[in-house]
Structure 1
Amino acid sequence: MTTPLEFDRYCDEIPRGLGELRSAVTSGTALSTTVPTCPEWTLEDLALHTGRALRWAGHLVRTRATEHIPVDAVPGSTAPAVPGDAGALDAWLAEAGARLVEALREAGPDAAVWSWAAVHRADFWARRMTHELVVHGADAVLAAGRPLPGVPADVAADAIDEWLEILRFTQRALPDGRERELRGGPGRTLHLHATDAPPELDAEWLVELTEDGIAWRRGHEKAAVALRGPLDAVLFAFYRRLSPDAPELEVLGERELLDFWLERASFG
């Protein structure tokens, strides 16, 4: 996996992404509200899941962990004492984010830290938590009845890169997972095309379902199916937080191939 954004950029982005979740928690929306994009969770469940992930990543980086540490063993990972207390939950989230960023900045990008992926450095966790917040921040604002948030263009493009890298990694590391079906032969290709991104960002992707698994690259190339629209919309559709039938998006070609992909490459 690569980390194309600067390490400090990720550290700066984590509080912004967390702000989307915190704003939903303190919006007056009932914490028992079902999250439409994660219907097995309430807004409170979503916040607790995300806060625990932030505290876990921060603890791994702070302790320079050399092996997996269970989330329940991380200090402060338990929920605030009073369920349903939005103020306490918000404070707990804020502390989790601050402690993570503090640990990352103290460690620096190259510090050796355990991860579940192929990269065992602090910069893996900076990137992963940035994009965890992109997606779960969107989940939270949707639960609060708000429109999907805007995402800085470089972060949105990197989130698509990272998700493709994760899928490719899990396909190899977990051969019996649902991603195993994302294989094929010639012509099983998808094209993602962001129509509003600056040219220097090169915000287009070609994804190939080969016999050996997923292969992908940036660039403008013809594919069996294309998903086209503003970068934020392409990102959230790719993460199944927005329907491909949304008015701002256009699907060209084999829609069934896009649906096949989305059913097997969903986030959370």
Structure 2
Amino acid sequence: MLRFGTLAGGPLPGTGQRPYVGGMLNYERRCAEIINQTSLLVSSLDGADLSIQVPSIPDWTLNQLVRHVGHAHRWADLMIREKVREIPYDRNGAQQLASYVGEKASDVVPWLLEGASSLAEALSEVDPDEMIAVIGGHPGPRVWSWRMAHETVIHRWDVVNTLGVPFELDPEVTRDTLAEWTALALPYAFMRWPAETAPLLGPGRTVHLHATDVDAELVIDLTGSRPVVRKGHEKAAVALRGPVVELVLAVYRRRPVDGLEVFGDSELLDLFLDRVRF
């Protein structure tokens, strides 16, 4: 899960830029998607062996991944219900997973559903613009509804991919997932790993993400001191084209770009996807 340690409460260090909190879905829809995506996730767990390794996150078993998602929900729930101003990172159990072994789906499914429902309820009971659990100067309810909805989307893919179950995602939700990645994960990577991402910046360095099945085109401009994202169709140093869900999986490093259309500087694209990690 993306951790916003140095994003909380201020701009990205060295950029003066605050993460944009936009996207395709409204606040109420994102709250609903926390429950919906969790329900879809658990529907694939019936009879599953939770001890198997997750290929996309090889350090975790399915057991640990499910607990990770549930603890992330509960951490966000705690912050919203207690209306904390500062984010309590020491109360986040989403990375402390070693003890979760030998559980069955029947042990974890009710717990996971309960946490998702509680978080959605907590978010619905506060003003979306209330300055609690603040991230990057933005109201926590808006950002955490966005982050937790798509945290669940991506980890649902991890689950179904592990089990060999088909993955389907509403196009509007997928567009919102892509927007969330560009608004939060992308600037986070440049802040968190400045030495690794620095080679991406330079004259003429632009990346175009072009969905072929929905209206979603983004240009990531790397020509300055920080990435800048624009909507629309522009000629870029490299373009990646394909169905929007495949673009999402590519930028989240869940799939290679093989099978998608790549035009232009493929080496820049490979470097970009390697360095901008979640």
TM-score by length of 2: 0.84
Structure 2 CA distance for aligned equivalents of residues 243 and 168 of structure 1: 18
Match of 2:261 in 1: 250
2-side partners of 1:113 and 1:129: how far apart?
16
1:80-91 maps to which residues of 2 (within 5 A)? 83-91=102-110
1:15 pairs with 2:35: yes
Distance 1:143 1:223 in 2: 35
- 1:108 corresponds to which of 127, 132, 137: 127
Q: Please say if 1:28 is aligned against 2:47.
A: yes
Whether 1:224 and 2:233 are equivalent positions in the alignment is no
SS in structure 1 at match of 2:207: strand
Structure 1: gaps (5+ residues): none
Percent sequence identity over aligned pairs: 38
Checking the alignment, whether the CA contact within 8 Å between 2:186 and 2:276 is kept in structure 1 is: no
Describe how 1:79-158 pairs up with structure 2 within 5 A: 83-147=102-166, 149-158=167-176
Structure 1, 89-98 or 221-230: larger mean CA deviation:
221-230
Q: Is the 8 A contact 1:182 1:209 kept in 2?
A: no
Task: Give, in whole Å, the separation in 1 of the partners of 2:251 and 2:39.
Answer: 22
Q: Which amino acid aligns with 2:221?
A: E
What is the RMSD of the two structures over their aligned residues, measured on CA atoms? 2.4
Which residue does 1:41 correspond to in 2? Answer: 60
Q: Secondary structure in 1 aligned to 2:230? A: strand
Map 1:49-88; keep pairs closer than 5 Å: 49-70=68-89, 72=91, 83-88=102-107
Q: Choose 165-174 or 114-123, whichever is displaced more.
A: 165-174
Post-superposition offset of 1:108: 3.0
Work out which structure has the larger RCO, using CA pairs closer than 8 Å and 6 or more positions apart in sequence.
2
Q: Normalized against structure 1, the TM-score is what? A: 0.87
Give how far 1:173 is off: 4.6
- Gaps in structure 2 of 5+ consecutive residues: 1-19
* Inter-CA distance 182–129: structure 2 relative to 1 (3 Å threshold): farther
How many residue pairs get matched? 256
Q: Distance in 1 between matches of 2:198 and 2:91?
A: 33
Give the secondary structure class of the aligned counterpart of 2:58: strand
CA distance in 2, matches of 1:116, 1:177: 23
**Conserved 8 A contact 2:51-2:102:** no
1:181 to 174, 195, 198: 198
